[in-house]
Amino acid sequence: MSVDPRTLVVALVQAASGLDPAANRDALSDLVPDGTDLVVLPEAFARDFGESGSDVSAHAEETTGPFATTVAALARERGTTVVAGMFETSGDPGRPFNTLVARGGAQADYRKIHLYDSFGYRESDRLSPGALHPVIIDVQGFRVGLMTCYDLRFPEHGRALVARGAEVLVVAAAWVAGPRKVDHWRTLLRARAIENTVYVVAVGQPGPRYTGHSLVVDPWGEVVAEAGEGPEAVRATLRGESLAEARRVNPSLLNRRL
């Protein structure tokens, strides 16, 4: 039986963004490490959401603007791929996109599909949803699907990415803290890994406003790395051999009938 020799070294940067976009950009240099294949920062890292219901349109940028340009330069300098969240200008000046930019070894823009109209929030009042187009990037031979925060609660989104070949699901989040929220976060991440036999790499902003607990889950559903509530960076190595073995023992993707 052939062995899949691929490896992917990932860094999860659980750092808080502030309300000053320039300060957030300046922080990137200290946050993006060397020696990794993929670095993931949280949702809305270019500029935090601010108070609930705030108008963020004044802080939206093009994906060729200052934030994405800084991310791209650092990714080239460190020889990696960086994924990070920002608000992107849209056709509706008052409702930008909530976008993940991937720059470096891979380049893509993913605009959040599922807006957070839940738990008393109305993200769709201030943001526009992205097109129903799952986004996958290639990083070191791995197919990596991109998701943002509330997308996690929709299993069909993860399955759509896997149906297009994703072997790793990246979830960048600002998962708001509250009762049951850490349990939901960990449970849903493990479920997405188990049901799709994929690695899940999930990064959130830290407490106290958000939950933290950035983590990596393997295709068996085991948590292989996890941060606490506060600012922290963790690393993990994803292995093609583990992915292949999980899919051999549990061929649920091959057994699909619907």
Going along the chain from its start, the domains and CATH numbers come out as: 7-249 (3.60.110.10)
What is the DSSP code string of 169-198?
EEEEE--B--TTHHHHHHHHHHHHHHHHT-
pLDDT at 52: 87
Q: What is the pLDDT of residue 2?
A: 73
Residue 175 confidence (pLDDT): 98
31 has pLDDT over 80:
yes
Is residue 112 within 8 A of residue 129, CB to CB? The reply is: yes
Three-state SS at 202:
strand
Distance (Å, whole) CA 27 – CA 6:
31
Selected catalytic residue, list 61, 123, 149, 167: 149
Average pLDDT on 108-114 reads 98
Sign, CA torsion 105/103/240/258: negative
Summarised one tens digit per residue, pLDDT across range 2-14 is 789 999 999 999 9
Instruction: Assess whether 77 carries a catalytic annotation.
Output: no
Instruction: Give the pLDDT score at 68.
Output: 98
* pLDDT average, residue stretch 121-133: 96
Q: 19: pLDDT confidence band, cut at 50, 70 and 90?
A: very high
Give per-residue pLDDT as tens, 216-240.
999 999 999 999 999 999 999 999 9
* Closest to 69 (Cα-Cα) out of 48, 84, 54: 84
d(CA 42, CA 48): 10
Q: What is the pLDDT of residue 78?
A: 97
The string of pLDDT tens digits covering residues 191-216 is 999 999 999 999 999 999 999 999 99
Q: Is the pLDDT of residue 135 over 80?
A: yes
pLDDT category, 53, cuts 50, 70, 90?
A: confident
Q: What is the mean pLDDT of the chain?
A: 97
10 Å Cβ neighbour count for 221?
Answer: 17
Q: What is the mean pLDDT of residues 48-56?
A: 92
Cα 158 from Cα 195, distance rounded (Å): 9
3-state secondary structure 67-124: HHHHHHHHHHHHCCEEEEEEEECCCCCCCCEEEEEEEECCCEEEECCCCCCCCCCCHH
> pLDDT tier at 251 (50, 70, 90 boundaries)?
very high
- For residue 181, indicate whether it is catalytic: no
Active-site residue flag, 167:
no
Active site residue: 61, 88, 112, 123, which one?
A: 112
Q: Whole-structure pTM over 0.95, yes or no?
A: yes
pLDDT value of position 222: 98
Amino acid at 59: H
Q: How many percent of the chain have pLDDT more than 90?
A: 97
Say yes or no to pLDDT of 110 above 70. Answer: yes
- pLDDT score recorded for residue 1: 58
- Of 43, 61, 88, 167, the active-site residue reads 43
Region 50-57: mean pLDDT is 92
